């Protein structure tokens, strides 16, 4: 066992003495040491309950003959960090989380790892660590928050953001805003729609790194605890069989994950994160593959913000396993890929079935014949931009309109609430990319304001920043190269006509190359917004969104 390096033979007596200072017995030290990365905190609703899940994981490890060793990591709540300086730190935290897990696993020579993420950047950060350290590993996410469903209303966190827009536009009363605030988030867990956290929880399952059910069992259900116990038992089995992430996170596994991504209509952030995880796994993930998969894989689910259903509805309808089994039957998903169960995905999901065809459509009657995400390219985004096409109204799939250009999220929000945006406009928010942000802030505020004010059927938004998985409408993010790196989005001026053609994968301005070249002569790289601390280092080292916004 790898942990013998810290516990075996006479020369390790000092090491054993330190273990015994914490109460470990000789019997416990004779077993595999399983690290448990637990980001429990009292500031993240998706992590608030993780100690209970950790206890279940530890029980499973002990039942199977291992010794659990729990440690903590950081975690940012994107919702609480939204709309102010705090959001600069969200994506940037992904790299620290991966580093923390690597450091703890390598310094203490764990034999295997259980990763217990709940929310947006924590799940991909831990999957990056799993790929990097390549120890037997399993992911157990925290589970989804329940949604509020009553009298035909479906509320979630996004509803509150949109209610603010409606309130600002005089379309909602104080009482209506308060009702939404008090009811939209009725339990702990990751916010209840197919937002980024739940997208990545589902894709952890789809890529083979989590047990069936992981993506959709609600946080407060007893089944989540049973899943955690089974995961604890299974990690010991993975250590015994030496099944590692490198055997699971193959090129085919990432193709499969993108296939499920399209079928579920996941967050656009999943593109950013899968690219980063693939890089750690040594797999080249070309974003052009996304359109290729999207063109042939049907969209089978429309969860919030794309439709009325939430994660608990997907759970009751059969979960991710039912979606994967349907995709395997129809030839879209290659089921031979290895999973943390130690069997192929086809074997893992063979008994899963769709229990509610209103929530999970079949391949022969999909919501759409094409997938939920699209990559757009053109003279604004030669390296690509991303849109959640499943959340775009049909009349906005193709749109041309004048640009209203803003150099920050705050400028754009002020203009939107100030009634300066007109039907037909294309809001451009730049200098919000990985480098320019820094940290590529999520911008749920502007998209929710546009939707809440009833403009989502006539106004598009493009940015080199990114959007929350809760965003809906013609919201196009990840424009690359970003403005701060000299990308053409930084050369646009208010009044330029922007052409958007989502079915054709195009995003361009009616601006000639000669005009762009002339404007570039007077363009200067902006001064860094933050000049000290972690974000200053991050800004110097971060790559483009088209490369996953990884630190090099």
Active site residues: 468
115 close to 139: Cβ distance less than 8 angstroms: yes
Cis peptide before 463 (omega within 30 of 0): no
Q: Which residue has the tokens 């590692």?
A: 244
Going by C-beta distance under 8 Å and a sequence separation of 6 or more, which residues neighbour residue 328?
335, 345, 346, 349
Question: How many helices and strands (H and E) does the chain possess?
Answer: 21, 14
* Pair 89, 76: CB distance under 8 Å: yes
Name the strands in the sheet holding 67-72, side by side, starting at the edge strand that comes first in the sequence. 67-72, 33-38, 112-115, 137-139
Beta strand pairing call for 426-429 and 398-406: parallel
User: How many C-beta atoms lie closer than 10 Å to residue 395's C-beta?
Assistant: 10
Dihedral of alpha carbons 324, 326, 327, 329, sign: positive
Q: 411 vs 231, 292, 460, 483, CA distance in Å? A: 47, 36, 16, 16
For 450-469, the DSSP string reads HHHTT-TTT-EEEESSB--T
d(CA 401, CA 30) in angstroms, rounded, equals: 68
CA distance 381 to 185: 36
How many C-beta atoms surround the C-beta of residue 335 within 10 A? 18
Of 110, 118, 104, the residue nearest 137 (C-alpha): 110
Residue (of 311, 87, 91) closest to 191 by Cα position:
311
**Residue-wise over 189-220: b if at least 16 C-beta within 10 A, else e?**
bbbbbbbbbbbbbbbbbbbbbbbbbbbbbbbb
For residues 510 and 470, is the Cβ–Cβ distance under 8 A?
no
Query: Encoding tokens for residue 292?
Result: 């290729």
Q: How many residues does the chain have?
A: 552
What's phi and psi for 393, nearest 5 deg? -65, 145
Beta strands in 360-417 (DSSP E): 374-376, 384-387, 398-406
- Pairwise CA distance, residues 258 & 160, whole Å: 30
Q: Which of 162, 163, 255 is nearest to 208 (CA)?
A: 255
The answer to whether the beta carbons of residues 406 and 432 sit under 8 Å apart is no
Residue (of 381, 429, 436) closest to 407 by Cα position: 429
């Amino acid at each position: 066992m790898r942990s013998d390096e810290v516990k075996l033979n006479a020369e390790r007596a000092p090491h054993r003495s330190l273990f015994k200072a914490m109460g470990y017995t000789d019997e416990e030290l004779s077993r595999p040491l399983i690290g448990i990365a637990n980001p429990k905190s009292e500031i993240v609703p998706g992590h608030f309950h993780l100690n209970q899940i950790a206890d279940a994981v530890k029980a499973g490890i002990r039942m199977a003959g291992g010794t659990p060793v729990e440690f903590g990591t950081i975690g940012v709540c994107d919702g609480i960090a939204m709309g102010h300086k705090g959001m600069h730190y969200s994506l940037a935290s992904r790299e620290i989380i991966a580093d923390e897990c690597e450091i703890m696993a390598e310094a203490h020579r764990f034999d295997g790892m259980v990763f217990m993420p709940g929310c947006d950047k924590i799940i991909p950060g831990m999957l990056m660590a799993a790929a990097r350290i390549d120890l037997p590993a399993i992911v157990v996410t925290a589970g989804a928050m329940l949604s509020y469903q009553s009298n035909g209303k479906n509320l979630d966190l996004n509803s509150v953001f949109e209610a603010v827009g409606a309130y600002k536009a005089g379309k909602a009363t104080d009482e209506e805003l308060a009702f939404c605030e008090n009811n939209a988030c009725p339990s702990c867990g990751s916010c209840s729609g197919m937002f980024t956290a739940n997208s990545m929880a589902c894709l952890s399952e789809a890529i083979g790194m989590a047990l069936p059910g992981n993506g959709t069992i609600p946080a407060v259900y007893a089944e989540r605890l049973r899943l955690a116990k089974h995961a604890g038992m299974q990690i010991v089995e993975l250590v015994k069989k030496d099944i590692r992430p490198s055997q699971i996170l193959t090129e085919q596994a990432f193709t499969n994950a993108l296939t499920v991504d399209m079928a579920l209509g996941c967050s656009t952030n999943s593109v950013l994160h899968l690219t980063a995880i693939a890089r750690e796994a040594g797999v080249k993930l070309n974003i052009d593959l996304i359109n290729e998969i999207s063109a042939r894989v049907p969209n089978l689910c429309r969860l919030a913000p794309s439709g009325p259903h939430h994660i608990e509805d997907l759970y009751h309808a059969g979960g991710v396993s039912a979606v994967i089994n349907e995709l395997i039957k129809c030839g879209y998903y290659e089921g031979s890929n290895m999973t943390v169960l130690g069997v192929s995905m086809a074997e893992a999901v063979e008994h899963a079935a769709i229990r509610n065809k209103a929530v999970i459509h079949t391949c022969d009657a999909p919501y759409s014949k094409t997938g939920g995400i699209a990559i757009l390219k053109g003279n604004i985004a030669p390296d690509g931009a991303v849109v959640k096409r499943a959340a775009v109204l049909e009349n906005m799939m193709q749109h041309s309109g004048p640009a209203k250009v803003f150099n920050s999220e705050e400028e754009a929000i002020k203009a939107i609430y100030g009634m300066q945006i007109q039907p037909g406009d294309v809001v451009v928010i730049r200098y919000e990319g990985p480098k320019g942000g820094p940290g590529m802030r999520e911008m749920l505020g502007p998209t929710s304001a546009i939707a809440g004010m009833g403009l989502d059927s006539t106004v598009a938004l493009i940015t080199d920043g990114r959007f929350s998985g809760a965003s809906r409408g013609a919201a196009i993010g990840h424009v690359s190269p970003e403005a701060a790196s000299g990308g053409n989005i930084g050369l646009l001026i208010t009044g330029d006509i922007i052409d958007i053609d989502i079915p054709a994968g195009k995003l361009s301005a009616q601006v000639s190359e000669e005009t762009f070249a002339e404007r570039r002569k007077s363009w200067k790289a902006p001064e860094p917004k933050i000049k000290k601390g972690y974000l200053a280092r991050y800004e110097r080292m971060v790559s483009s969104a088209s490369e996953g916004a990884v630190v090099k």
